Amino acid sequence: MAEGTGVKLKRDAGVIGLLFASLGGIIGSGWLLGPLNAAKIAGPSAIIAWAIGGFAVLLLSFVYAELATAFPRAGAVIAFPKLSHGNLMATVLSFVVFLGYASVAPAEASAVITYGSNYVSGLIDKAGVLTSEGFIASAVLLAIFAIINTLAIRIVLAINSALTWWKLAIPVLTILVFVIVGFHGANFRSHGFAPGGASGIFSAVATSGIVFSYLGFRQAVELAGESSNPRRNLPIAIVGSVVIGLVIYMGLQIAFIGALNPSDIANGWAKVTFKGAFGPFAGLASLIGMGWLAVLLYIDAFISPSGTGIIYFTTTSRVLYATGKEGLLGGNTFARLSVAGVPIVGVIVSFLVGLLFLVPFPSWQGIVTFISSATVLSYGTGPVVLMTLRKTMPVDKYKRPYLLSGGMLISAVAFIISNFIIFWSGSSTDTFLFELILAFTVIYVGYEAIAGVGLSNLHWSGAWWLAPYFFGMWLITYLGPKGLTGGTGALGQVAASVILIVFSLVILVIAMNSGIPDPEEAKATILAGEPEMFGAE
Neighbours of 307 (CB within 10 A): 27
What sign does the dihedral 293-297-303-309 (CA atoms) show? Answer: positive
SS3 for 137-157 is HHHHHHHHHHHHCCCCHHHHH
The confidence score (pLDDT) of residue 119 equals: 77
Long-range contacts of 168-172 (CB under 8 A, 24+ apart): 168/23, 168/27, 168/244, 168/248, 170/296, 170/297, 170/300, 170/304, 171/27, 171/31, 171/248, 171/251, 171/252, 172/248, 172/251
How far is Cα 500 from Cα 516, in angstroms, rounded to an integer? 26
The confidence score (pLDDT) of residue 472 equals: 97
Q: What is the pLDDT along the chain (537 residues), one digit of tens a residue?
A: 444 445 554 555 577 878 888 887 788 888 888 899 999 999 999 999 999 999 998 898 889 888 888 887 766 777 889 889 988 998 899 888 888 888 888 888 888 888 888 778 888 887 778 888 988 999 999 999 989 888 877 787 788 778 888 888 999 999 999 999 989 999 999 888 999 898 999 999 988 889 888 987 877 776 766 666 777 787 888 888 989 999 999 999 999 999 999 999 989 999 988 887 778 898 899 998 999 999 999 898 888 888 888 888 887 888 788 788 777 776 677 777 887 777 888 889 889 988 888 876 666 777 788 888 888 888 889 999 999 999 999 888 888 888 888 999 999 999 999 999 999 989 998 999 999 999 999 998 888 888 766 777 778 899 999 999 999 999 999 999 998 889 999 999 899 999 999 999 999 999 999 998 888 877 787 666 544 333 444
Residue type, position 248, single letter:
I
- R_g of the chain computed on alpha carbons: 22
Q: In this predicted model, what pLDDT tens digit does every residue of 217-236 receive, in sequence order?
A: 877 776 766 666 777 787 88
- Main-chain phi, psi angles of 370, to 5 degrees: -65, -45
DSSP-based three-state secondary structure for 536: strand
The confidence score (pLDDT) of residue 532 equals: 39
15-534, which class in CATH? mainly alpha
| CB-based contact 100:351 (threshold 8 Å) | no
Task: Give domain limits for the chain.
Answer: 15-534
The confidence score (pLDDT) of residue 536 equals: 43
Q: Which of 110, 173, 168, 103 is nearest to 141 (CA)?
A: 110
| CB-based contact 249:30 (threshold 8 Å) | yes
Could you tell me how many residues make up the chain?
A: 537
The confidence score (pLDDT) of residue 373 equals: 86
